[in-house]
A = this chain, B = another copy of it.
Amino acid sequence: MSNVISIVEVGARDGLQNESRTLSQEARFEFIKHLAASGLKRIEAGAFVSPQWVPQMIGSRELILEIFSRRSEFPKNVQFSALVPNVRGMNDALTTPIPEIAIFGACTESFSKKNINCSIAESLERFREVIALAKKNKRKVRGYLSVAFGCPYEGKVSEARVIELVQAYLKMGVYEVSIGDTIGVANPKQVSAFLLRLKRRVPIKKVALHMHDTRGTALANVVAGLEKGVRVFDSSFGGLGGCPYAPGGSGNLATDDLVYMVHGMGYKTGVDLEKLLTYTKTMQDRIGRQLPSRTAEAGIPRVRPLAK
């Protein structure tokens, strides 16, 4: 199995979208430049959503237009994407050169209703139209499946149902499904058992894991994923994003922690962790809180001289 891990950096979208302060378009551009300069190759840059619903993502269209008008300032091999919830968002996205969009659905009816205001069946219909438009315009489509390992309204989630939805996404034309532990309840045994079952139905290359560190288990779950052949992981700079269900708590797995661990295990990510961490203080000042990343706090281990 490959020793190369692909990180999908979601800090500028999933991360910032769940922070209480809204960053300016300029600050977000600078942040994304830093992420790319640190070696992150897949970057979610914004969302084509209503600023009424998600004020933090205001001006995503302009931000993306700016990225592509200044494309030469970014490494060539960086891939940008943006979240698109519906046809209206897709049409907005098509006014930009964004080459990849992401759709976001749920694994339980309750979470779907609460989060995207429709049933799962309705969401699949909606996505079908979005994907048709994307394909027609040669844009790639990534899919998120949230609450795959536990739901705040329904508790346990059926593995069979999640697998069915992964298959439905792939069949609709999604090239990669990111399976999310949205509320951070999964454990490595559960992740392992689920992936073993999933692998019998779906090529593991089309699967990404989106783990939350709400209860400290994200990296243990990543290792379970690695052991089952997953090589794509979502994470968020510094753990940006918090947990909407536990104010002040930790949500998204921190890219810093992910990179620290997997580099130590011999995997390659292309990320320069030292460089990545130079932005910690700037971001903390901007969002007005301590980032939850452990590695950002402790720093990269360094051998220091023993004082005499």
A residues near B (Cβ < 8 Å) are 110, 113-114, 150-155, 183-190, 213-220, 222-224, 243, 245-246, 248-250, 254, 257, 260-261, 264-266, 293-295, 297-299, 301-307
Contacts and interface: CB of A to CB of B under 8 A. Distances in A.
Contact of A261 (B151, B215, B250, B306): B215
A257 B215 contact: yes
A34 to B, nearest CB: 21
Contacts of A254: 216
A119 B286 CA distance: 47
Given A184-B298, A246-B299, A299-B246, A217 B214 contact: no
Contact of A297 (B155, B248, B260, B302): B248
9 contacts: A151-B303, A186-B264, A188-B265, A217-B260, A217-B264, A220-B220, A223-B224, A245-B298, A250-B297
Contacts of A214: 294, 298
Contacts of A245: 298
Nearest to A186: B264
A107 to B, nearest CB: 15
A15 to B, nearest CB: 16
Contact of A222 (B113, B220, B304): B220
A277 to B, nearest CB: 11
A190 B260 CA distance: 13
A148 B226 CA distance: 25
A183 B295 CA distance: 12
Nearest to A303: B155
Contacts of A260: 215-217
